[in-house]
Structure 1
Amino acid sequence: MKKCMMKVCDLVCPEKKQAFSNVSLSRNTVADRTCDLATNLYDQLMEKGKDFVAFSLAVDESCDASDTAQLSVFIRGVDSNLCVTEELLGFKSMHGTTTGKEIFEEVSKCVTEIKLPWDKLVGLTTDGAPAMCGKKSGLVGMVQEKMREENCAGELTVYHCIIHQEALCAKALKMEHVMTTVTQVVNFIRAKGLNHRQFKSFLEECGSEYADVPYHTEVRWLSRGKVLNRCFELREEICQFLETKGKDTAELREQKFLCELAFLCDISSHLDALNLQLQGRGRIITDMYAAVRAFKTKLCLWENQMLQGNPCHFPCCQSIKAQISTAVFPCAQFAEKLSVLAAEFSQRFADFDAQKCKFELLSNP
């Protein structure tokens, strides 16, 4: 980086070359600068926190690559001018157990350090784990107990992360057998270096527009849709490659499997599009809830269309249906899947439905 900047300096501002050469990039200097930036940001957050009339917390606990539990605490506060501040409040490594009590202690420490009063806490979002949402020994129960001890008059609204809920809804489809087969195929191609190199060369020889198949990772919700779509597009090339390796491809060529793969590709693409709508900074819950309600309405429309044998919103299904007999394509089965998915959305988002009046007041005063 420094060598590059020196060359730029020679052309752009040679008189400043000495100033650039004096910049220290040692490990200690860079670490100190990072600490100074972090301290400054924290001080700014504390200053803004004094003006908060209300704030909410979002808490998530997940293991990293070394199996250490990492607890992240985000804060969103609003002042009297309706200026919203959204920031990472704390990031704690938990080397022992991660019970509700221990999580609460870390969250309580974050709130206390920034000198925020508990009576201004109005919302708490968790990842839905028992240690988080338990009414007595979980984080939610302990926060509510803490607010009672502090004689807080306000009501605490508790949510299960809306993006996580949406990802969990997909499990109601019960099409793991298709995903398992696809994952096994991808792992066979990607797990061994020789197979992977040969497959990429094979795709190049075939003149395919795709150069590879991606891995599927359970914790990366969007990876499933990407893997399914790529495998569907490359289904013929994958079968040919597996046959050169002496693998049985009878299941991959079955009409029933291809229909299920096409349906799973399409519905995963729709779910991924919704997931992306729910992500990002500055998203407010009324917009997110509106996106979920719109998706539930779409599911009803798609179910009716599927019952009529019209998969117009499912391009992969249309592609397969054109290749096989219309009578073979299981429209009724897929319509039932869409009905089950709609019911799962209604059940999982029942706590959001209970807040419908408040959302409508905020979105349309």
Structure 2
Amino acid sequence: MAKRKVYGEHREFQARWEAEYMFTEVKGKPVCLLCGESVAVMKEYNLRRHYETSKKHKDRDKNMDTEQRLQKVEELKRGLKSRQALFTKAKSQSEAAVKASFLVAEEVAKSARPFREGEFIKSCMLKVCDAVCPDKRQLFSNVSLSRNTVAERVNQLSTNLKEQLVEKGKDFIAYSLAVDESTDTTDIAQLSIFIRGVDSSLTVTEEFLALRPMHGTTTGQDLYEEVSRCVNEMGLPWEKLVGLTTDGAPAMCGHRSGLVARIRERMRDENVTEELTAYHCIIHQESLCGKALKMEHVMTIITRAVNFIRAKGLNHRQFKAFLGELDTEYGDLPYHTDVRWLS
């Protein structure tokens, strides 16, 4: 004989069980109105056993007649509904507070501000709330914006964006990479990697893929290992790589040991027949144009003038005042750099 299954018996809650055993039905499950516990199987024997043996509500309704029991059931059902509504409201408010926390953390990250700015923002929010809607102060107080919370929210947002990019990468029919390496204010080399991919519907996705700190050397082999690790983490096949954009540094475009040469060697090892197209990074276009047009005599004079203006604070202040008097479009100029000349 086949074993009986609960879902196949079509058991339904009986209205008489409310008065007899103080039970009601909540989302398809019998729930005791006296203690709030639910019974796994909707069966009269189980409800009666719980009603007669539970120590939490023993003898609580022993002396009630039928009418009193019905009144008690209705009172307990109203109490249960109010508790459920309160729980739903609290849950909704909690979800709203978490969502608000994520929104503020996203704005903090976009503006490149320190994570501790969240506490300052919350302080401003509470002051505005006291002036505009003081009755809603508790809702604003529930929004957690401590330094650790903002850092955790930003990390979760970053992880989610990476997961979305990985999912999009699975549909790429071709993609290209752009790589640039610069040194930050703490003398740590930072390798920036960008990706541009296209899927079968010709939808182009261009995103910042990774920022990898390089604490040691920055040779072509070091750059290749970081780029290769990033590509493998994304699950991108090498045969779909069609382009690579770098600057003109030897570590990037060296013919033997540069990043471009090593990636081409890796693609040959992967039996990729398509040729990798290497591009020169367009962020250096001003410097490249100056060198290609042989305007060193002009660039040298301009560089000397810029350095004279920015070398001393007095010169800089006087120059800015002069531009203000002329009502020029630009009110200042940066230091001269070979990489980003006046860009």
TM-score tier (shorter)? 0.5 to 0.7
CA separation of 1:183/1:122 partners in 2, compared to 1, >3 Å: closer, same or farther?
closer
Q: Map 1:234-249; keep pairs closer than 5 Å.
A: none
Residue 100 of structure 1 deviates from its aligned partner by 1.0
Structure 2 counterpart of 1:142 = 262
Deviations along 1:143-174, one digit per CA (max 9) or x if unpaired, are 11111111223332221224434541222344
Amino acid at match of 1:215: P
Structure 2 counterpart of 1:18 = 138
Structure 2 counterpart of 1:46 = 166
CA separation of 1:219/1:29 partners in 2, compared to 1, >3 Å: closer, same or farther?
farther
Structure 2 counterpart of 1:87 = 207
- Tell me the SS of whatever aligns to 1:119: helix
**Separation (CA, whole Å) in 2 of partners of 1:118 and 1:61:** 22
Check whether the contact 1:186–1:213 (CA below 8 A) recurs between aligned residues: no
> Do residues 37 (structure 1) and 157 (structure 2) align?
yes
**Separation (CA, whole Å) in 2 of partners of 1:202 and 1:116:** 54
Amino acid at match of 2:124: C
Percent identity for Structure 1 against Structure 2? 66
Amino acid at match of 1:193: G
Check whether the contact 2:286–2:341 (CA below 8 A) recurs between aligned residues: no
Structure 1 residue aligned with 2:236, among 110, 116, 129? 116
Q: Map 1:237-276; keep pairs closer than 5 Å.
A: none
Structure 1 counterpart of 2:333 = 214
- Tell me the SS of whatever aligns to 2:340: coil
Structure 1 counterpart of 2:190 = 70
Amino acid at match of 2:327: E
CA separation of 1:11/1:109 partners in 2, compared to 1, >3 Å: closer, same or farther?
same
Higher relative contact order at CA 8 Å, sep ≥6: structure 1 or structure 2? 1
**Separation (CA, whole Å) in 1 of partners of 2:129 and 2:156:** 27
- Using structure 2 for the length normalisation, give the TM-score: 0.57
If you compute each CA radius of gyration, which structure gives the higher value, 1 or 2?
Answer: 2
Structure 1 counterpart of 2:66 = none
**Separation (CA, whole Å) in 2 of partners of 1:161 and 1:199:** 33
CA separation of 1:9/1:170 partners in 2, compared to 1, >3 Å: closer, same or farther?
same
Deviations along 1:33-55, one digit per CA (max 9) or x if unpaired, are 11101100011111111111111
Check whether the contact 1:75–1:87 (CA below 8 A) recurs between aligned residues: yes
Deviations along 1:84-113, one digit per CA (max 9) or x if unpaired, are 111111111112211111111100000111
Amino acid at match of 1:87: E
> For structure 1, which runs of at least 5 residues remain unmatched after alignment?
224-271, 273-365
**Separation (CA, whole Å) in 2 of partners of 1:181 and 1:154:** 46
**Separation (CA, whole Å) in 2 of partners of 1:61 and 1:152:** 27
| More displaced 10-residue stretch of structure 1: 79-88 or 174-183 | 174-183
Check whether the contact 2:287–2:339 (CA below 8 A) recurs between aligned residues: no
What is the aligned residue count? Answer: 222
CA separation of 1:9/1:216 partners in 2, compared to 1, >3 Å: closer, same or farther?
same
RMSD: 2.7
